[in-house]
Structure 1
Amino acid sequence: MALERAAPRSGSVTTETDALQPSAMRRLACAALDWWGLEALSDDIVLVISELVTNALQHGGGCTGLCLTHNAGGSVRVEVSQRTRCRPRVRRGDAEDERGRGLLIVSTLADAWGVGEAGESVWCMLSAPAGEAS
């Protein structure tokens, strides 16, 4: 695990091990957001990480990494890497379904989201509320 700060209010946090549990990834994200002064994004980013990591574990052969990048203007890029090159898609579950809404939640919360060119990762961007971007 590494926390880098290249300049005030910028940097990245990256973990690259499939031994990390989703709860550890969520704690790391909260610590990074606190460090960057973006606590207002914590709830949404924690939920997005939970959904993307769960998708990687259930459909992508396992989660191999989490990368958070704080960009100029207060946006944060969340990227979760997975073992396989499976390209996820948004599903619309029935009211009785217990699963299948993860990417729908991500697409609702994020300003943008996508899949790595080879399907090795899923990423999304979230912006800080007005007045909290740095």
Structure 2
Amino acid sequence: MPPRVAGASTAVRTPRAVACRDGDVMNERIEVEPRRPGALLRRDDAGRVGAMRRIAASRLRFCGLDALIDEATLVVSELVTNAVVHSGTDEVRVTMAVDGDFLEITVIDGRPGAARPKQAGENAESGRGLELVAAVAKEKDGNWGTREAGAETWCRLALPEEAR
């Protein structure tokens, strides 16, 4: 092995996937600026949504659940955005856990008020997030809903056969 050079970067070996069975895959929280109705989403808060998406992808990869990365990151993005935009809260928590044959993604904003899909107009730039979550859940033999009077929104996606 060649000698190390001060200040030189070292290549990092990608760790082998670790089977995450019946347990936590991710448990993260972000602080956001409470949003008033009609106010635009702050750039920092939008960046935090992207960070949650990247963390989710990384954790799924670490757990060998690469086959669910696209669908799960879309669900995380939509549910976290929904919480930031509509709850008026200052903290959002995201958990992902393997529960039997499913990956369950839960977004907790702590504010009651059930999330409901709405009909977005043909030219609307928003309003389709929960419809996307419902479609992804259906495609992956799962479902979605709310708990705790709407303070938690969850989505379950069936694990691929090779991960069961």
Q: Corresponding residue for 1:132?
A: 162
User: 2:31 is paired with a residue of what secondary structure?
Assistant: coil
Shift of 1:84: 1.9
- Which of 124, 132, 147 is the matching residue for 1:116? 147
The higher radius of gyration belongs to: 2
- Which of 16, 38, 43 is the matching residue for 2:29? 16
CA gap 1:8/1:46 in 2 versus in 1, 3 angstroms: closer
Aligned length, in residue pairs: 126
1:80-106 Cα offsets, whole Å, 9 max, x none, are: 011421211011212111111010000
1:56-98 Cα offsets, whole Å, 9 max, x none, are: 011012452000001223x210000114212110112121111
Which consecutive unaligned segments of at least 5 residues does structure 1 have?
1-6
- Which of 72, 78, 92 is the matching residue for 2:100? 72
Q: Corresponding residue for 1:4?
A: none
User: 2:134 is paired with a residue of what secondary structure?
Assistant: helix
Q: Corresponding residue for 1:104?
A: 131
User: 2:162 is paired with a residue of what secondary structure?
Assistant: coil
1:1-53 Cα offsets, whole Å, 9 max, x none, are: xxxxxx95222121134258112211221122112211010001111111101
Q: Aligned partners of 1:8 and 1:96: how far apart in 2?
A: 43
Q: Aligned partners of 1:8 and 1:41: how far apart in 2?
A: 14
The two structures have a TM-score, normalised by structure 2, of 0.70
User: 1:26 is paired with a residue of what secondary structure?
Assistant: helix
Q: Corresponding residue for 2:71?
A: 44
Contact between 1:61 and 1:83, CA under 8 Å: does it hold in 2?
Answer: no
Contact between 1:38 and 1:132, CA under 8 Å: does it hold in 2?
Answer: no
What RMSD, in angstroms, separates the aligned Cα atoms of the two structures? Answer: 1.9
The two structures have a TM-score, normalised by structure 1, of 0.84
Q: Corresponding residue for 1:3?
A: none
**% same residue:** 34
